[in-house]
Structure 1
């Protein structure tokens, strides 16, 4: 059931941000419409086929951090709950809170930390291709 809700929500996002949402819908809220990542990079999709879209919910407890990592495919993220600080190597630190949507930086090492007093939950949607890892963790 949750997967169906997420799939429908993503379809509405795509339709509304591209101007093809049915005008009869009573409520359509655009979460994000952009051609750039949160670091100003142009969004570029992998050229390998077949395409693969994968979604996960990442949960970090208060004070918990992700591993240092980078993404090699476009990644839509939506902060469902909590607060998150992300340090991008060679770039600014960004802070996100519940309700924020973004396209994550591509091929830039970064690490996120839950800076709040409650768990942070992040919906992450990877737009990749078969055989292409969405996340590369530093060794």
Structure 2
């Protein structure tokens, strides 16, 4: 019976401990440049924020494209490899935060064995497309 009381106290305090064990703010990324060193420039027009979760199947490719609005991304799960041409190739995995290449053509591919899910936050405007396919 004496052992049950300490276990009960631990279990009763577990939700408070879990809630209090996280920092109040956990900065994932703060930068003035994209992943390939481009300075961030906000587009002309009325500011517009777009949030999306991008899901890619294993082996799925994005095709060559560019972003005309700054894009902050956080990899929720999986793995994606991005080819930035002369700026190199980078692999992003679950938990990685980045500001994607800005106005520079690049192509991504899910190179993992499972789906990849990426939270994408575009800081654009009403007059600029967030993503533009390259021909």
Which structure: larger Rg? 2
Per the alignment, do residues 71 and 26 of structure 1 end up closer, same or farther by CA in structure 2, a change over 3 Å counting?
A: closer
Tell me how far 1:127 sits from its aligned partner: 0.4
**Which residue is 1:99 aligned to?**
95
Structure 2 residues without counterparts, runs of 5 or longer: 1-21
Q: 1:124 aligns with which of 120, 125, 129?
A: 120
Confirm or deny: 8 A CA contact 2:44 2:127 kept in the other structure: no
- Structure 1 runs (4+) greater than 6 angstroms displaced: none
2:40 paired residue number: 43
In structure 1, runs of 5+ residues without a counterpart are 1-24
Give TM-score scaled by structure 1 length: 0.78
**Secondary structure, aligned partner of 1:90:** helix
The CA RMSD over aligned residues, in Å, is 1.3
TM-score normalised to the size of structure 2? Answer: 0.80
